[in-house]
Each structure stands twice: as structure tokens, then as C-alpha cells.
Chains A and B, each alone.
Chain A
Amino acid sequence: MTHAGSARVSLDPQFAPSFPQAALIMLRNPQLRKNVAHAIDVIQAKRGKLVVEKTDWQELRSAASAIRFHVLDNLGAYLEQFESRCIAAGGHVHWASDAAQARQIILDLLRQANASEVIKIKTMTSAEIQLNPFLQAAGVSVYETDLAEIILQLGDEDPSHIVVPALHINRSQVREIFARTMGLKNLSDDPKELTNAARTYLRQKFLTVPTAISGANFLIAETGTVAVVESEGNGRMCLTLPRTLISLVGIEKVLPRFQDLEVMLQLLARSAVGERMNPYTSLWSGVTPGDGPQNFHVVLLDNGRSSILAKTKERQTLKCIRCAACMNTCPVYRQTGGHAYGSVYPGPIGAILTPQLMQLKHAQTLPYASSLCGACYEVCPVKINIPEVLLELRAQVVNQERRQAGRFFDLMYLGLRVANLIFATAWGFHAAQRMGRIGSRFFTRKDGWIHSLPSIGAKWTQTRDLRGLPKQTFHQWWAERVKGEK
């Protein structure tokens, strides 16, 4: 349950309700809204201070954007370079066209390793391909090891943020989940005690489960290196203790050279968690004898990324380094939280990434889940012009609608088509204004205001009044003035 009493919103874009419908469910949940606002305020305050302190912040953003664009423009060459360096260093590289293929590759690797259980580091990419339920169904036990992911897994909840996935859950809710599933009757709701409970619960898993699955923050083409950025240390555990490690990584995550981390790491920790550097960053290239997993596999995932790559305006979506600064600053996300977006990628980045990964067959309401305020673009460390992509996707959604019979029943669609005719000529515009003035008289009360409108107008008047149309438009006033001057 997303929260006691409220309906659950599917995070599968194929089945999720429209954003307005899902948002309405979330808006009615005071606990969720309070938790989200609190979490956001904390991160934002920390980030704000550090951005001011980092006097070359804008230069870092420019460099990061340029590096990411350069990689995307030459993605084939860099992926092939990464592959050959990784293999030379003793790793294996697999290529998965889509989610189904990625899941199967991973399952086959687990079977080859005789793995009946795996420990996992949080990776949104694995949630994107719905890996856990697939593995569980195939008889593999999956143990999440990030505190947030454990909370979600044990509590049967869904992630609502890409960096702090359980930010919608408060301490007493966590206490209830842990007490129930770990059998700890006297557990308090003190976050320190809860964290210790998780530490103890996981220690044995780390020391005994020989197979791990991770994602990656970056791949370095020059050296065949994989980089994982984290705070808790469960990453280091999963990346060094097991015999077999499988890293699932989107094809867009590659950087050209080791040196490029100097830009990305400075931006990522400040943007994601409001710190100068996150506690632990792990870098490894292939296999090192005597240190860490000796059986290492990278699974490169396409799953729609190459289609996004092909589109001029939309390609910038792939620059994303998954820092979540956009959703932390988004005034829409602040009110609804992540579940409203019906995807494992919520917020502004989710509003552009999810519909594109779905080839715009689903999630068509997500590009409209924005007031186009531009705050996301302002904070994005790699300068993704999210509003620009939102507008492009809206145009594509409308073009889809133009070919559908259902458009004749869509009042917004019809209204805008008519409005376009009205704006085409001055006489049409003025005639429509006169008709509007006459028509609105019925709804205008004695105080000169409209308190209630029918049909689509009710969407306005359900929470706002509207001042009645003035007797005289500006252009009528001007025409009179001109006449008067003659």
C-alpha cells in the first residue's frame, strides 16, 4: 500500500492511471505530502549552500553538458572501446536490446553461477526492466541491500524518488515494517535503531551470498572501468565480497576518459544529496586477481535509448546522470510525490524519459505534468532543457490525437482548434469576444464575478473565481479614443 487507506498506483507505465488521476490520489494524502516536502526541503537547503560555495558551478555544468553531448554523438565508438577494455581486463560484456532480453541474460548468468539467491545494490535500471519479480518467479531470491530498498521490499511498497526512494515513508511506518518482518518486537522508531537493525539483518547476507547484481553510475571507455557512487556501504559490500557480479547499465552511461569523473563527481553529490562528495565511490575495471569478484559481467541495456538518441531535440534526455535535482526543485513533484508519475522514473526527468522509453505508446499524460516553470532546467547539472523536451513531446502527443476519432470528444482539443480559427482574423477574434461576453453574462453574479462554470470551465471554478468579462475590450476602448481624438 502506498499509504494506509489510499489506493496504490502502478509504477508500470503500461498500466498506470493518467497523471491527473494518480496525482489526485496522492494529493489527498497528507502524510505523503508532509514527508515529501520535508525531504525536499532538507536536500534543497544543503544543495543550495554548496552550489553557492562552488564558484565554478556554471563552468562545471557547461563542461558536463558538453562531455555528455560528445559521448552521445559518438556513442558507438565509446561503447565499443569500453567493451574491449573491459574484456581485456577479464570482464564479460553482454548487450540487451530490450527489457525481456536483459532479464533473460541475467537469469542465464545466475543459472550458470548456480545462484539461488542474489544480493542487490539499488539500481533504477533494474526496476525499469522489472527484474526482481522476474527472478523471484524463476526461483531466485533477491535481497535488496539499500536501506530504502529494504524498506520498500519488506513493506511491499514502490519507490517514489530515484535517489531517496522511500522518502514518502516516515519513521513510525519504517518501525512497523521492520518490527513485523524482522521479528523485532521492541524496536523503537528512532532512525539510528532502525538503521542498526538493517545493518545486523544484512551482515550475514553480505558475508554468505556469493552473487550480486548492481547498476552503475558511469562507465569509463578509456579504461573499461565501472563506477558506483553510494552513501551506505552496501555497494562496497556487494561489489567486493561475492564471487560473481553482474552490473546492469544503460548504454548512455559511458564517459570517454577516467579524467571526466572530475567533472561528474563534483556535480553529482552536490546535486543528489547536498554534499561535497558522497561517502563511498567504488571503481573497478574487469577482474583483479585476489580482490573482489572473479566472475564479472556487464549487461548493456538499450530498451529504447537508441530511439531517443536518434531524435535531435529529445537526445538531451540521455545526458541525465540520475541526480534527482530536478524533482527536488519541481513544484509539481513537491505536491504529488513520485508515485503520481506511474513510473520508476518520476519528476521532470521521468516526465520526458518514461514516455520516450514507451515510444509514446503509454504515459502520454506525463509531458503535461508540468507548469513549464523551468526550475528543473536551472538546476540540472548536465543542462537538460527539460521544458524544451516536454513541449516537443506534447506536440507529438497532439499529433497522435489528430489521427484519433476520440478527438471529437476531447473538449480541450476542440476548444484549441476553434481558438486557432478565432485568432486567425481580427473580426473572428472580436466576434468571439462579443459572444463570450454575452454567454458569460449568465454565469456572472451581481458582484461581477463568475463562481461556477459548466463542463471544462468547472476545472477552473472548482477552486477559483473568475472576474466577469468587462463590458468593453481594450481594442474597443482604443477605437473609441481614436474616434474621440478625430
Chain B
Amino acid sequence: MSINGITRDCIPAAGPPHVLEVDSATKTYETQPPVAALRGVSFSVGAGELVAIVGPSGSGKTTLLHLMGTLDRPTSGAVRLAGTDVAALSDREIAFLRASRIGFVFQQFFLAEHKSLLDNVADGLLYAGVRTTVRRELALDALSAVGLAGRADARPTQVSGGQRQRVAIARALAGEPAIILADEPTGNLDQTTGQSILALFDVLHQRGATIVLITHDMAIARRMPRRIELLDGRIVADTRSAESLAAGAPTIQTAEHP
């Protein structure tokens, strides 16, 4: 996958193809005065990776999530998802990209209270052009994957916070997306429940899912195979753990992007 002839600083020598590439992305909000939330960020995420993006508030995490999730476009630079440059796509094409290739997990879960867990998960496929019966089958599969198949008919109000987040994760999983973007998924949960959600991400990772997890919590980021540290809109470190090194992926300590 050659990208405009530019040599990437974090392309593994050999490995799975890239699912997500962020290439010199900047984002400036046109407020008074203008705010530069991202000042040139480049990295890529290979298939099957579990990556934490960590940084304090104001470091540009959320803006980066918007760009990765195609909810917003970079001021300059490029975002490529599964090899497609987002900038070249129309609103409808981007919407379809989100529907079919990206799974979101939010801090606040965003579940519909009047619907069963199964329907909440099935709604994740509503805009992907999948028929209702198929949606519900896939939703049940996804609920099984997060260990909630037995509670498919319960309402979100009848289950615990941790279970709600599992439902939200199942919703993100149901369409078998190329990448799952999780925004502070443990932010609304207590320590223990948070750990079980992280353990679930580990399991999904081992099964081959590509996951990008955004957090402000360094402790969470440290237990991930790879962590990208953000500060003031720049990447200050991109570290891989010993295990993932053993698995063959190189660690690149980025002193700083040019």
C-alpha cells in the first residue's frame, strides 16, 4: 500500500495491511481565536491491532477520534480508512463507510431505553442496508460475544452499567467493522467493571478485532499492546509492549513528528 510515495514512519516492515492511516492530519477550529487541536499527527493502525490513544484533556484525543471516525474532516492532511481517503468521499459515502466499517463505543453508552438489548444491538446495523431478520441474527451473535445472549430481551434500564457498555460494544461489533473506536469506554464505570470491559477488549483483540481505545488514563493505556501518547495536538510517543514486540511488530519511539 504505497501512499503518494511518502515513506511512512510507522509502517511495519511486514505485517497485516493497514486499516487506518492518519497522515499529517491537522485540525484547527475556526473560533475566535482559532484553536489548533491537532498539529500534524501521523500514525497507522494495522489489522488486528489494539491501540490506546492516551493524553490529558485538551491534548486533542477527541478531535482525533472525530477524524478517525469520519465524523469530521481534517483541516489538512489525510485520513484513510481501509485504503480509502475520506476526503474524496461524499456525505452519503462517508455515512456508508461509518455504517459498514466503523464501530463506535461511547463513554455514555447511548442505548435506547425503550428497546430490548437485542434491538439496541440490531440498530447498529440499521443504516448498513441489512434486513431486519439478518440484523437480529447478527445482533444475537454479537451479544453472545460479549456474554449477554441470555439477556437479549432485557431493557437497558434492567441491567448494570458494565452490562450496558457490553451492549454498546456488541452494537459496535455486530456489523463486523474494520475498526472499533472506543471513547473512554470505562469512563462511566467503577474500577472492577472497567477492568472487565478492558478484559473484553483483550478477548476481542485476540479474536482478531482492530480496536482503537481513547483514554486519559495512563494505567489503562499501559496495559494495551500499543499506546500512542498525545500532548498539545502532537504525538509524543508511540510505544509497543514487550509481548507485541515478541509477536514481531517493531516499536517506534517517535521523538516528534517533523
Say if A and B assemble together: no
Binding site for B on A (CB under 8 A): none
Binding site for A on B (CB under 8 A): none
